[in-house]
Structure 1
Amino acid sequence: MVDHRLISSGEKASVGVCAPAARLWPDFLVGQESSPVRVLLVDDDEYMRRVIAQELLSDLRIQLEGQADSVREARRLLATHTFDVLMLELQLGDEMGFELIAETRLQHRNSEVIVISSLEDDAHVLRAFELGAMGYLLKNAWLQSFADAVLHVVNGGAAITPRLTRRLLHRLDYHAREPFADTPPPPPRLPARETTLTPRESQVLRYVASGYASAQIGAKLGITGQTVNVHIKSIYKKLHVHSRAQAVNFAVHTGLI
């Protein structure tokens, strides 16, 4: 029996308290101190970029190769650096980051992409995954680790903020409501053949999926923002939807864009 009268106050605080166990990280996994995962970080929010960079730098299994604050600077990094993971904010100052996802998957086939964003609507999330991202982390979420996300994706996994994961699971919930039903669930409603999109409407919808506003789309296509809105209303009518997010979601799932 321990006589606490013979233990100093500093020693007494440690009695019965075990030190936390060191985290197991087998040597067969990618990401070792001797061969760290190389990361590029792109975010125009200087404060958030610094927060993420500090977390990555504190993990010896990760090496931060470079940082950028715009699509233009990101392209320079992609051209001049060898990397394993691109961590990318979608909503950058000069343009949306969707094209960077596609370019990375095309030009650096062995590299992975993790989106870090404040955008959490289904259209942006699904579009990022459709283009090849293997992670989507929300900046304002608590139960996540940027360093862990990097290590997950380079070892064949995915990294999704738990709140987004729950929402994606709810989208599949109808499959579980009647698991023993004899008849399968009805297929999604498809547009009639005679109501397929025109080439111009398809162009507009692609820009909508990339997050551009009507005025920005108009500038790219050489038309007015008002004309863009006319096309968007026509798209809504043809696809039987009521919002941009619904239109993009439908188009992604049916292969229209």
Structure 2
Amino acid sequence: MTAPDAPAIRVLIVDDDPLLRAGLAMMLGGAPDLEVVGEAGDGTAVAELVAGRRPDVVLMDIRMPSMDGLSATEELRSRAAAPEVVVLTTFDADEHVLRALAAGAAGFVLKDTPPAEIVEAVRRVAHGQPVLSPSVIRRLITRATGGDGRGRRRERARERLRALNEREHEVAVAVGEGRSNAEISAALHLSVPTVKTHVSRILAKLDLNNRVQIALLVHDAGLVGDRDDEG
């Protein structure tokens, strides 16, 4: 939870359904630590609204008429100082999940998620913690442990991770295991600020956007989850 005197987390809602936007605005606005600063019905309006309203988190639908949420996320996250993005959708097809995460989304939450969990997802993403629905996590594990192109993905991922030093590699694997900075700190006997520094260096060295992309790379490298054919 946000401290009582901390600034409210600023949220922009992007969805082409006005009734859903109204419901989300009411739900999020009812949380004392969240503030809805704007709404949009299409991805084409996102860049201008983000520039003017300065949200911390964008709740982004996928299917919209002129520019879909995946394209809007790619455009938004390519910019400096971009807000975090939580993709909120009824669809969990593999190509949507992976494209959203590869674009830099920090969360992927299905619309049938209970309201309290959507509110908590916004809070967590605002504080640098990726959020994925259980079905999404299962898909990522499946991607990392089987399917066409597995060997090629694994070798490419391992080659990229060789750019890291030993400690950075340990931190990257811990991120891939879903550990928070505090948990990594305890496991590796590092201070939390030192963990944050390592994460920042990993992102810079690997030209990645956020922790979710570190986790994707670590999963592709076969360093977490099923390691039966490791060696």
- TM-score, scaled to structure 2: 0.58
Q: 1:54 to 1:159 in 2, by over 3 A?
A: same
Give the Cα separation in 2 of the matches to 1:26 and 1:142: 20
Q: 1:170 to 1:80 in 2, by over 3 A?
A: same
Contact 1:55 / 1:146 at 8 angstroms: preserved in 2? no
Contact 1:144 / 1:161 at 8 angstroms: preserved in 2? no
Give the Cα separation in 2 of the matches to 1:43 and 1:143: 16
Contact 1:57 / 1:64 at 8 angstroms: preserved in 2? yes
Contact 1:39 / 1:87 at 8 angstroms: preserved in 2? yes
Q: 1:26 to 1:146 in 2, by over 3 A?
A: closer
Task: Give the number of equivalent residue pairs.
Answer: 152
Q: Corresponding residue for 2:65?
A: 93
Using the aligned pairs only, state the percent identity: 28
Deviation at 1:142, TM superposition (A): 4.1
Aligned to 1:45, which of 14, 17, 28?
A: 17
Q: Residues 146-157 of structure 1 correspond to what in structure 2 (within 5 A)?
A: 146-157=118-129
Deviation at 1:170, TM superposition (A): 3.5
Structure 2 gaps of 5+ residues are 154-219, 221-231
**The residue matched to 2:64 in structure 1 has which SS?**
coil
Q: Corresponding residue for 2:151?
A: 187
Q: Corresponding residue for 1:63?
A: 35
Q: Corresponding residue for 1:5?
A: none
Deviation at 1:119, TM superposition (A): 1.8
Q: Corresponding residue for 1:177?
A: none
- TM-score, scaled to structure 1: 0.53
Q: 1:66 to 1:143 in 2, by over 3 A?
A: closer
Q: Corresponding residue for 1:158?
A: 130
1:197-252 deviation per Cα after TM superposition (whole angstroms, max 9, x unaligned): xxxxxxxxxxxxxxxxxxxxxxxxxxxxxxxxxxxxxxxxxxxxxxxxxxxxxxxx
Q: 1:103 to 1:133 in 2, by over 3 A?
A: same
Structure ranking higher on relative contact order (CA contacts 8 Å, 6+ apart): 2
User: What residue identity is the alignment partner of 1:147?
Assistant: V
Q: 1:136 to 1:104 in 2, by over 3 A?
A: same
**The residue matched to 1:187 in structure 2 has which SS?**
helix
Give the Cα separation in 1 of the matches to 2:61 and 2:6: 29
Contact 1:38 / 1:84 at 8 angstroms: preserved in 2? yes
Aligned to 1:117, which of 65, 86, 89?
A: 89
User: What residue identity is the alignment partner of 2:131?
Assistant: A
Tell me, yes or no, if structure 1 residue 141 matches structure 2 residue 113: yes
Give the Cα separation in 2 of the matches to 1:108 and 1:84: 13
More helix by share: 2
Contact 1:35 / 1:61 at 8 angstroms: preserved in 2? yes
**The residue matched to 2:47 in structure 1 has which SS?**
helix
The structure 1 segments of at least 4 consecutive aligned residues displaced by more than 4 Å after TM superposition are none
1:38-67 deviation per Cα after TM superposition (whole angstroms, max 9, x unaligned): 111100012222222121111111111100
**The residue matched to 2:151 in structure 1 has which SS?**
coil
Contact 1:52 / 1:146 at 8 angstroms: preserved in 2? no
User: What residue identity is the alignment partner of 2:70?
Assistant: F
Give the Cα separation in 2 of the matches to 1:143 and 1:172: 30
Q: 1:69 to 1:151 in 2, by over 3 A?
A: same
Structure 1 gaps of 5+ residues are 1-24, 175-185, 190-252
Larger radius of gyration: 1
**The residue matched to 2:102 in structure 1 has which SS?**
helix
Give the Cα separation in 2 of the matches to 1:61 and 1:26: 6
- How well do the aligned residues superpose, as a CA RMSD in angstroms? 2.6
User: What residue identity is the alignment partner of 2:24?
Assistant: I
